[in-house]
Structure 1
């Protein structure tokens, strides 16, 4: 495996922040704080690692209603979060490790990161994982995707973050990512490219544990630096990360999660802008309402239907799940 970036030499220092927080909002807030405020020049590069409760995380320019079954998530108590980076939608859970490598734009290199991660896993566990041109990690059959990638670059700083499926509930993953509105929405929002198949390490390495994978990744990241400290952190520790709670609150907000979605048209008859229904030929009475609050009323309603509208209660009772 080779990288398309310049050859990397051993660098002076780095820190691994291991967050034990179980909330995606807390972990994304920590990532944002470190990305914006960590002193890369004097303290060196950073890798952040975490696992959190079941969550669907979608890209900055995506439409959550098109990417996930948001109603199922609400009923199941599964979080829905918009991240700052672009790219496609992913599922996080206790059987998944999330890594974020924060560096300068100059040193930013996704292929190099994926190469050392794949080589570390292959050496330790006997797998044959390889990076792809799309900056994913796949099993040797070329079909099963075990990791997806996204990145962000701002003012000379960059991060590369990725998921790594170890031993996840794949049935739950599929249920969360099955949108009832797929094929019914017209939008310029970024749409995820579905993997041909989902892979995870436990398929090829029975009994593999999250802790084992995390230790291997920590050890191999540290080999790239003269010194590398591992710090267990509380993501919302204001003394260590001043202002991080305000960032976490923003990530949880309706304005960030829903109003940031690019405008879209459902079934050619309902327009949604800034998270609000602007107009609807099939439900004009819902104009001005947040789409996420009334979306059950649009399950199964195509613009070509001519039958009389059902009441709210009937429509909710016949929703597509």
Structure 2
């Protein structure tokens, strides 16, 4: 098995790296990697309904869709991600098999973890790892999170969203009580020391294991995948299932209630209601926004040539756009 100790902390690159090796390897692979602050959403989720839009925008948190299903997770540098790619293997849904090496590695440190439910690892009934899988031809990719010293408050804030705003058929995330591995260690360890420990532990289990360093060609191909897919609005947001959003904007000029439908990432209908004043009819804006991408840049560009005050007295474009995006 090839062992890849990836040092990149760019979420776009790291998710692309998984797909690249899944589709281009003939050997089994084990990878360890970390991301700077990012929300990773499941393949079948509505991205906007999983994130706290204001918090993500303010803190410049990357939002990236992965290949596998399941719920949204928050990554930071206190979280370690592990990936197994198993070739000639169609054992999809055998989550326990791929998590046992992690459980064994923790037991070696006198930390007793257990597999629970569909895809979680627990310590003292608190979750520290969520797992997901994806099949490609005759291969299976299993990946999971390992909360080591993550900022739990950031995790909670980034994923907090008012569920009543969104209606649709996307898979919803399940919230759980969480813990960090570092809280259960007998001796202090940094996150990088633990990452090295885990890689060494996996390496020691099979004499045929050997390290692999990414080549220049690997990096170039992965970066192409980043540019064409993982760093695009279309993949991360536009790929969401069709959904409806209902929101209310409270501002000095009154209240604006809005309702919109989105399909394939495009607004196909939007309606404004409320006690606001305006000298021009808002149906003009409603018509203007049809078939516009449901993202901040596209909406601002569409509305930039008009005076929002003509339609919503004492409102500004930033307030209106944030509301259309689902912010409070």
Please tell me the TM-score bracket, short chain as reference. 0.7 to 0.9
Q: 2:14 aligns with which of 27, 32, 41?
A: 27
What stretches of structure 1 of length at least 5 have no aligned partner? Answer: 1-13, 298-307
Q: 1:261 aligns with which of 226, 233, 240?
A: 240
Aligned to 2:107: 122
Q: 2:63 aligns with which of 45, 55, 80?
A: 80
Distance 1:194 1:37 in 2: 35
Does 2:121 correspond to 1:137? yes
Does 2:237 correspond to 1:276? no
Describe the shift of the 1:52–1:191 C-alpha distance in structure 2 as closer, same or farther (beyond 3 A). Answer: same
Does 2:172 correspond to 1:169? no
Q: How far is 1:317 from its partner? A: 10
Q: Is the 8 A contact 2:48 2:237 kept in 1?
A: no
Counting only pairs closer than 5 Å after superposition, residues 1-321 of structure 1 correspond to structure 2 as 14-40=1-27, 45-104=28-87, 105-106=89-90, 109-124=94-109, 126-140=110-124, 142=125, 144-179=126-161, 181-195=162-176, 197-205=177-185, 207-233=188-214, 238-240=216-218, 243-249=221-227, 250-267=229-246, 269-282=259-272, 284=286, 285-293=288-296, 311-313=315-317, 315-316=319-320
Q: How far is 1:39 from its partner? A: 1.5
Describe the shift of the 1:264–1:213 C-alpha distance in structure 2 as closer, same or farther (beyond 3 A). Answer: same
Distance 1:53 1:34 in 2: 21
Q: Is the 8 A contact 1:258 1:274 kept in 2?
A: no
Distance 1:199 1:35 in 2: 30
RMSD, aligned CA: 2.6
Q: Under a length normalisation based on structure 2, what TM-score does the superposition of the two structures give? A: 0.79
Q: Under a length normalisation based on structure 1, what TM-score does the superposition of the two structures give? A: 0.81
Matched residues, number: 286
Aligned to 1:303: none
Describe the shift of the 1:218–1:262 C-alpha distance in structure 2 as closer, same or farther (beyond 3 A). Answer: same
What stretches of structure 2 of length at least 5 have no aligned partner? Answer: 247-257, 273-284, 301-310
Bigger Rg, structure 1 or 2: 2
Distance 1:314 1:207 in 2: 46
